[in-house]
Structure 1
Amino acid sequence: MKLNLKLNQFLPIFLFLLQCVGPTRSLSSDGLSLLSLKSAVDQAAAASVFTNWNDNDSTPCQWTGISCMNVSGSSDPRVVGINIAGGNLRGYIPSELGTLVYLRRINLHGNNFYGSLPDQLFNATSLHSIFFYGNNLSGSLPPSICRLPRLQNLDLSNNSFTGHIPGDLRNCRQLQRLILAENKFTGEIPAGIWSGLTELVQLDLSSNQLDGSIPEDLGELQSLSGTLNLSFNHLSGKIPKSLGNLPMTINFDLRNNNLSGEIPQTGSFANQGPRAFHNNPMLCGFPLRRACNDNSSEPASSTQNLIRNSERNRRKGLNPGVIVLISAADAAAVAIVGLILVYFYWKRKDDSNSCSCTGKTKLGSNERGKLCHCLRGGFPSNDSEVDWENGSRGGGGRGSSSGGVGGEEGELVAIDKGFTFELDELLKASAYVLGKSGLGIVYKVVLGNGVPVAVRRLGEGGEQRYKEFAAEIQAIGKVKHPNILRLRAYYWAPDEKLLISDFISNGNLTTALRGEFPVF
């Protein structure tokens, strides 16, 4: 009787406890796969990032850096994104991440992950973006990476990857961005794979150890935009003309290689500045200062060879007659060089006296006056980087065959009355070709006070069109807007037209519209 009484007293309490304790749920399979990443990271660094990664949770969708989405065929949300960037995490990338079959984007950049990329990672066939840049990953780039049928973005830059760039990348048909810069890749850039990558908009293979020639089929990347960056490698040979078939908005960066020969002048090459080709000692042609047919050093080289041969033969012990002949040849070579130097000295002196540009005419005084041939010779018609002085290029400019201006008159007119400088400043300044188009050549000119201006050379004026030209320029000069280049002055002569405007640094209109400002 007492026993039954006690059971009746505790039964309600027992039933209440059963109601309070609900059914338990274990962590989902996606959560278990993610816990392998937590285990692969050194715990000292993991404490600050994985604080809420708890294996007692039923789903990982509330964990830091994890994105989930409801997908058809699954009752629970599935993991579609991992974003744990800049956490200074040290560890390896676990192969279990390949079981996240709905994972679309993984971003682990700016950490200190090491080791190779696990081949099993590419079993996550929904992946379209992999951002692992700024780590210490090593090993080769697995050819199986193109098992990912939706792969669009692959950024493995600033790591320690080695080996060759696999030709199997041809199978990444959806690839849009391939960024492998700042690694240790070797060998040649694979040829015959680029024509199939019709969606590629960005290619950066800079700062590796690649050698060999530039593949011809890189010119078939018609979707490419921004910059084709192959700089800081060991590439050699000629630049393929096929690169001129790339879109006109493309910027080349081929600096610091061993490329040789003449820079092609077709298509998109016309829009490139000299910076794109710097530090390729054997390259020549526009827009570099090196001409491709420069034989000015031949006399000196021949003399050096004669001297070298004479010294070599002297050591062998030649007879006196041969020694006399060699000495006579040396003397003749030196005499020829001397005569050539004297000839050019007097020719330059005569040219410099053929016209006088010392008249102090201020740009802005609206005075009509005679401008000698120095101005027309000052802005060269060949597309090279030049420094000129009065008369120093008397035979190289447009109209040089006239031998002077005679009665031709030119007019310097200032649109902005507060913008004045001496004409001699313009004639003696250093000019640097910025580009060329159907409208003429544009130079950057640095005046004596250090102020840079842009000078567009339009070519011959034509006496009958002066009033029409002046009216149009005056109308343009009245336009004032922060986003429109300001015209400062113009120069008119029957055989020359110059527009002088502000010089704007930081690239061109294309880079400004895209928000990309290169550093020079």
Structure 2
Amino acid sequence: MLALLSLFLSILHHCTNIAVVTSLNDEGIALFSFKQSIDSDPQISLSNWNYSDQTPCSWNAITCKQQRVVSISIPNKKLSGFLSPSLGSLSELRHLNLRSNRLHGALPSHLFNARALQSLVLYGNSFSGPLPFEVGNLVSLQSLDFSNNLLSGSFPLALLQCKRLRYLDFSHNNFSGVLPFGIGGNLILLEKLYLSYNAFGGMIPDDLGSLSNLIGTVDLSHNLFNGSIPASLGNLPEKVYIDLTHNNLTGPIPQNGALVNRGPTAFVGNPGLCGPPLKNPCSSISEANPPSSLPYLPYNYPLQGGESVGKVDGEKGLSKATVAAIVLSDDVGICVIGFLLSYCYMRYAKARRDRANNGEKGGGDRKQCSCFRRAESDSLSENAEKYDLVHLDAEVVFDLDELLKASAFVLGTTGIGIVYKVVLDDGLTLAVRRLGNNPLPWCMRLKILRGVAKGLVYLHECSPKKYVHGDLKPSNILLDHKMEAKISDFGLGHLAHIAGGVVTEKHHHHQRQGSYLSSEVVPTWASYRAPEAVKVVKASQKWDVFSYGMILLEVVTGRSVVDLVNWVQLCIEEKSPLSEILDLHLIQENGGRREEEEMIGVLKIAMLCTHCNPDTMPSMRHVSDALERLPLSRD
């Protein structure tokens, strides 16, 4: 009897264990199936995904709402394997983020049965094959990022059913074929569109110009698009940067709307394009655009009936003696005027020397420069902003008090740098200086770099004039009490240039390739300036891109900016370890693999910004977007 009771208790205990093991709900089973499809998990990110749990809501990377899985976020964990179709059974799943892993294989069609998905991020894996037609099931989808994979095939027509889509990134894949007509008519909420580095061909659809909600960049670069540029692209918002580089586009560049005032960098790599802003003129431009006014008629141009416009009937012309007298009188007049000017200048110079020697007041130097004032609210034009700078053509005399007011926020210079006066929002006045020996953590550095990039984007795109800072350097980047970056000294570089303060090529020998920089010859601030800024009079926004790239290198490496580009390039060529390139304080900070990848990303962006060819440099809009897409240092 005792033996039978013992056997019964053993069977009961075994059945209880089976009940516990099989208690995981359906969503947990679907996620566990995903775990089983993973071949390698070196960071053990799925270690607490246990089949014995009742629900997966306590698992790593899983977010639940009312005991239903709504989010899966496993980025940058070096997971390798394939994507299990079981995830498509998660009916309440809204966000799936598997970016920067090592997943491969085709995308399962059952994945797109998760119709509640709002964001699907598979960036930076090795998925291949075409996109399944079932992608059109995701009618709630707002963000789709399949960039940096091996996907192929054509642009899926079914995607046009995802009418809530705001962010679409197919860049760096193997897509081909023509873009379907209907993107502009169906995806009207689209704000970001990245299709670069594929093999898309054919003509660019006209209806892309209907995407009125676009912001940032429309990137169609490095494809096989041919034909002419649709004039409808000019209907896009003016702040949208249209990148059409490295395609097979031909014909004149339309000069309307968002296409106006774009530099040549947006169109390089298309040998068949012509017209402004390129230097390649269109041969038939005069035929395509006949002049609206009468053409210029040269002297003695024959008119109808054999008449000409050279002489009036009966006019005999001047004799040789008369012409000689006129020439002689002109020469004498010029000599007299030159003598008078020389005499006046000598008197003026002598008076200045006498006043300086006698210690009289008013012996200051005079400089010719451009003056600006802030526009008053009652004098603003329709398109002007409240703080627009208005150029003053008239001569203006400033007294000492006015000049002191202009520099009122600079308290002085000490051994620790410039000290500024700062007034906080609550009226509290502080004296601030550059931080001393306490290096900023990486997350704070990245925040500042992103803020500066956004400021430059606003400066470059805030008006059709396309402003250029021209003198970006660390001392012109101020930080408030919240560590928000503020760009200062905008326009002062232009004033210094007019006043003769620009370093000449004789003192600033700096070429992008095979160059050398000596700290004994070149001041540190000159290393932030683009090399072509010394030779080219007209300012370019690429000057700011170069300066910003130098700041990126300085922040990441912690080294002096002098000859920094060549040093980093040499380290890359010699495959030096990352510990020899990055700032020592950042290495000691040891923020993990995520921050390390952010630093590498910033380093790559910096090298693009300081490229030897200005035409291949990215725009600040591209740079800002790239920084925003880096993995965040803090969740």
TM-score, length-scaled by structure 1: 0.57
Contact 2:195 2:219 in 1 (8 A): yes
The residue number in structure 2 matching 1:448 is none
Q: 1:258 to 1:41 in 2, by over 3 A?
A: same
SS at match of 1:505: helix
2:190 is aligned with 1:82 = no
Alignment equivalent of 2:37, drawn from 28, 35, 40: 40
Q: 1:506 aligns to what?
A: 545
User: Which secondary structure does the structure 2 equivalent of 1:27 belong to?
Assistant: coil
1:193 to partner: Cα distance? 2.9
State whether structure 2 residue 574 is matched by structure 1 residue 466.
no
Aligned-pair distance for 1:149? 1.7
**1:129 aligns with one of 119, 122, 126:** 119
Tell me, yes or no, if the aligned pair for 1:187 and 1:212 is still in contact at 8 Å. yes
Distance 1:54 1:119, change over 3 A: same
The one-letter amino acid of 1:246's match is: L
Contact 2:185/2:210 (<8 A) preserved: yes
Percent identity between the two aligned chains: 37
Q: Distance in 2 between matches of 1:412 and 1:49?
A: 66
Q: Cα deviation per residue 1:50-107 (whole Å; 9 max; x = unaligned)?
A: 211110111111211111111xxxxxx1111111111222211111111111111111
- Contact 2:100–2:125 (CA under 8 A) maintained in structure 1: yes
Amino acid at match of 1:483: S
Q: State the distance in 2 between where 1:81 and 1:513 align.
A: 30
Give the residue type in structure 2 aligned to 1:65: A
1:413 matched to 2:368? yes
Higher strand fraction: Structure 1 or Structure 2?
A: 1
Query: Match for residue 421 of structure 1?
Result: none
More helix by share: 2
Q: Tell me which residue corresponds to 1:433.
A: none
CA distance in 1, matches of 2:217, 2:403: 33
**Partner deviation per Cα, 1:428-466 (whole Å, 9 max, x = no partner):** xxxxxxxxxx99xxxxxxxxxxxxxxxx9x9xx9xxx63
Partner of 1:204: 194
Distance 1:479 1:254 in 2: 44
Q: 1:476 to 1:214 in 2, by over 3 A?
A: farther
Offset of 1:414 from its aligned partner?
Answer: 3.8
The answer to whether the Cα contact below 8 Å between 1:217 and 1:242 also exists between their aligned partners in 2 is yes
Asked if 1:181 is matched to 2:171, the reply is yes
Give the alignment of 1:104-143 within 5 angstroms.
104-143=94-133
Deviation at 1:143, TM superposition (A): 2.3
What is the CA–CA distance in structure 2 between the aligned matches of 1:210 and 1:60, rounded to whole Å? 42
Structure 1 distance, partners of 2:164, 2:128, is 25
SS at match of 1:185: strand
* Distance of 1:477 and 1:170 partners within structure 2: 61
**Offset, 1:214:** 0.6
Query: What is the CA–CA distance in structure 1 between the aligned matches of 2:133 and 2:547, rounded to whole Å?
Result: 39
- What secondary structure sits across from 2:168 in the alignment? strand
- How far does residue 129 in structure 1 lie from its aligned partner after superposition? 0.6
CA contact (8 A) 2:73 2:96 kept: yes
Q: What is the CA deviation profile of residues 123-162 of structure 1, one whole-angstrom value per residue up to 9, with x for unaligned ones?
A: 1111111001111111111222121121011100111111
Write the deviation string for residues 27-47 of structure 1: whole angstroms up to 9, x where unpaired. 1111100011111111x4367
Q: 1:54 matched to which residue of 2?
A: 50
SS of match in other structure, 2:193? strand
Is the alpha carbon distance of 1:513 and 1:221 closer, same or farther for their aligned partners in structure 2, counting shifts above 3 Å?
closer
CA contact (8 A) 2:191 2:214 kept: yes
Q: 1:253 to 1:477 in 2, by over 3 A?
A: farther
Give the match for residue 488 of structure 2. Answer: 483
Q: Aligned ranges for residues 433-444 of structure 1 at < 5 Å?
A: none
For 2:243 and 2:99, locate their aligned partners in 1 and report how far apart those are by CA, in whole Å: 25
SS at match of 2:64: strand
Number of the residue aligned with 2:251: 261
1:500 shift after superposition: 9.4
Contact 2:148 2:171 in 1 (8 A): yes
C-alpha displacement at 1:483, in angstroms? 2.5
CA contact (8 A) 1:413 1:490 kept: no
* Residue 500 to residue 219, structure 1, CA distance change in 2 (3 Å): closer
Q: Of 211, 221, 225, which residue of structure 2 is paired with 1:235?
A: 225
**Structure 2 CA distance for aligned equivalents of residues 151 and 176 of structure 1:** 8
Change (3 A) 1:517 1:67: closer
CA–CA distance in 1 between the matches of 2:109 and 2:256?
A: 43
Equivalence map 1:212-251=2 (5 Å)? 212-251=202-241
Please report how far the alpha carbon of residue 121 of structure 1 lies from its aligned counterpart in structure 2 after TM superposition: 1.1
Compute the displacement of 1:271 (Å).
Answer: 3.9
Q: CA deviation at 1:185?
A: 0.8
Does the Cα contact within 8 Å between 2:216 and 2:625 map onto a contact in 1? no
Q: CA separation in 1, counterparts of 2:76 and 2:279?
A: 44
Among 131, 141, 147, the residue aligned to 1:151: 141
Quote the Cα distance in structure 1 between the aligned partners of 2:61 and 2:624: 29
**Contact 2:217–2:621 under 8 Å retained in 1:** no
Distance in structure 1 (CA, Å) of the matches to 2:58 and 2:90: 17
The letter for the 1-side match of 2:103 is F
* Larger-Rg structure: 1
Alpha-carbon distance between aligned partners in 1 of 2:622 and 2:175, rounded to the nearest angstrom: 30
Aligned residue number for residue 167 of structure 1: 157
Amino acid at match of 1:486: G
Q: Name the SS for the 2:277 alignment partner.
A: coil
Kept after mapping to 2: 8 A contact 1:85/1:110 = yes
Runs (4+) of structure 1 moved beyond 6 Å? 474-478, 499-503, 511-515
Task: Output the CA distance in 1 between the equivalents of 2:182 and 2:169.
Answer: 19
Equivalent position amino acid for 1:238 in 2:
S
Separation in 2, partners of 1:197, 1:475: 55
Change (3 A) 1:111 1:65: same
* 1:507, distance to aligned residue in structure 2 (A): 9.1
Conserved? CA contact 1:413–1:489, under 8 Å: no
Given the superposition, is the C-alpha separation of residues 83 and 491 from structure 1 closer, same or farther in structure 2, using an over 3 Å criterion? closer
Relative to 1, partners in 2 of residues 1:199 and 1:56: Cα closer, same or farther, differing over 3 Å? same
Q: Is the 8 A contact 1:202 1:227 kept in 2?
A: yes
**Superposition CA RMSD, Å:** 4.2
Per the TM alignment, residue 293 of structure 1 is displaced from its structure 2 partner at its CA by 3.3
Match of 1:282 in 2: 272
Question: 1:29 is matched with which residue: 26, 30, 33?
Answer: 26
Distance 1:508 1:251 in 2: 21
